[in-house]
Amino acid sequence: MQTALFIGMYPNKVSPYKNIFFKNLIYAMADIGIDCTVISPVPVTKYLKKTLMIPKHEIQYSSSGAKIQVYFPRYISVSSIQIGDFNTEKISEKMFTNAALKIAKKLDKNFNFVYGHFFLYGGLAAILIGRKLKVPSFLAYGECDFESQVKRTYGVPKPKELEGLNGIISVSSKNTKELKDLGIVKEVPIITAPNAVDLSIFAKKNKMKCRKQLGLPINNFIVGFVGGFIERKGYKLLLEAIDSLDGVYAAFAGRGENSPFGEKVLFCKSLKHETVSIFLNAIDVFCLPTLSEGSCNAIVEAMACGCPIISSDLPFNDDVLTNQNSIRINPTSIDEIRDAIIKLYKDADMRLKFADSSYETSKRFSIKERARNIVSFISSQIPCD
């Protein structure tokens, strides 16, 4: 059995849905036979007294009964504040890495590889731990945008920080191209492995039953949105487009400080991840006019539930969306969002065609298959003794 050490921001009792897709991948790897250990340092300066709710160590089990060891060491974060030419992100990253390294050194296990989730607060720490433990290291590049999420605050990682990196798991063709264009990992093998979903959870269900379960009207035409209520996701533009359409209503599943509201909003709640499938089966069309993604889990989840898709015409969607399962729009254009909704509202045959195609496409994005592909790639990059 291969043993793996995962480093990154992992869901905990204070933030149970933070990076839930990272957790889902680890569970999938455990289910295919990988002995998984997770180190996820907790920022005490962010959680304050709530930190006490989080155990320093716990054992979790996947739905198949696979065991996962999870460690939550504490660290001091000084956030990401620009002071002249310096950003405090560098200090926060260093504190995170030190906390993870301290636990890694204490673990009585011979790991086959270390896997870091994202460059910061995961990947760079995994590379350093790999060097210290003399274990191959791998990094998942799932950031929406390297410029804003890494370079602008932390800076471009130096060659020394990337020394010993054996491979990169990129979540989209867009991200792979971005990495190659940056030129900072020229000699490092890259696999493109788009995000995937648990097809045993995200699957077709009876629409009427799902609507009743959520308290939604049976006969209304409902456009659904899943995601954070932040500018980048485009939820305000979606609602503005729907507000001007007769007979069309909106349902939102997500969280954020500025929740959408109004006469056309039939539903707006934060849902447990396992309940999102019910929501997606209750809507007629899924719309996410997002400006930036690495690889969008919400879109694949909607496809697995048989939803026609309206989403951005930007490159991060190219691995998943086609003209057979979606209408691609300029995510900044209310008119294009509105026109796409009208097309699907008026044309039931088109909705059915897109729904069927979405469902068929989603079969290529099983999380267990993604886990197998990633493990196969990792195994191919581990030097033979």
**Alpha-helical regions (H) of the chain:** 20-31, 44-47, 89-106, 124-133, 146, 159-162, 173-182, 207-214, 235-243, 276-282, 297-304, 334-346, 348-362, 367-381
Domain annotation covers residue 32 = yes
Of residues 339 and 182, which shows the higher confidence score? 339
Q: Are residues 156 and 225 in the same domain?
A: no
Q: Are residues 40 and 86 in the same domain?
A: yes
Q: Are residues 153 and 116 in the same domain?
A: yes
**Nearest C-alpha neighbor of 7 from the set 32, 41, 34:** 41
Answer whether residue 24 shows pLDDT above 80.
Answer: yes
- The total number of structural domains in the chain stands at 2
Q: Are residues 339 and 372 in the same domain?
A: no
Answer whether residue 130 shows pLDDT above 70.
Answer: yes
Domain annotation covers residue 202 = no
Average pLDDT over residues 290-315: 97
Q: Are residues 140 and 231 in the same domain?
A: no
Domain annotation covers residue 304 = yes
The domain of 62 spans: 3-196+367-381
Average pLDDT over residues 170-186: 94
Domain annotation covers residue 187 = yes
Q: Are residues 180 and 219 in the same domain?
A: no
Average pLDDT over residues 164-188: 95
Q: Are residues 372 and 237 in the same domain?
A: no
Answer whether residue 384 shows pLDDT above 80.
Answer: no
Asked if 7 contacts 117 with a C-beta cutoff of 8 angstroms, the reply is yes
Query: For the chain, what percent of residues have pLDDT higher than 90?
Result: 95
Q: What pLDDT sits at residue 349? A: 98
Domain annotation covers residue 201 = no
Domain annotation covers residue 329 = yes
212's tokens? 């009743």
Domain annotation covers residue 152 = yes
Answer whether residue 385 shows pLDDT above 70.
Answer: no
Q: What pLDDT sits at residue 63? A: 87
Q: Are residues 56 and 76 in the same domain?
A: yes
Average pLDDT over residues 126-152: 95
Q: What value does the mean pLDDT of the chain take?
A: 96
Q: What pLDDT sits at residue 33? A: 96
Domain annotation covers residue 116 = yes
CA gap 126, 117 in Å, rounded: 9
Q: Are residues 277 and 166 in the same domain?
A: no
Q: What pLDDT sits at residue 17? A: 87
Q: What is the pLDDT of residues 48-78, one digit of tens each?
A: 999 999 999 999 999 899 999 999 999 999 9
Q: What is the pLDDT of residues 219-233, one digit of tens each?
A: 999 999 999 999 999
Query: For the chain, what percent of residues have pLDDT higher than 70?
Result: 100
Least confident of 57-61, 94-98, 128-132, 253-257: 253-257
Per DSSP, the residues of 137-190 read EEEEE--S-HIIIIITTT-SPPHHHHTTEEEEEESSHHHHHHHHHHTTTTTS-E
Q: pTM of this prediction? A: 0.94
Q: Are residues 331 and 300 in the same domain?
A: yes
Q: Are residues 215 and 188 in the same domain?
A: no
Q: Which one-letter amino acid corresponds to residue 90?
A: K
Q: Are residues 181 and 214 in the same domain?
A: no
pLDDT-derived band at 383 (thresholds 50, 70, 90) equals confident
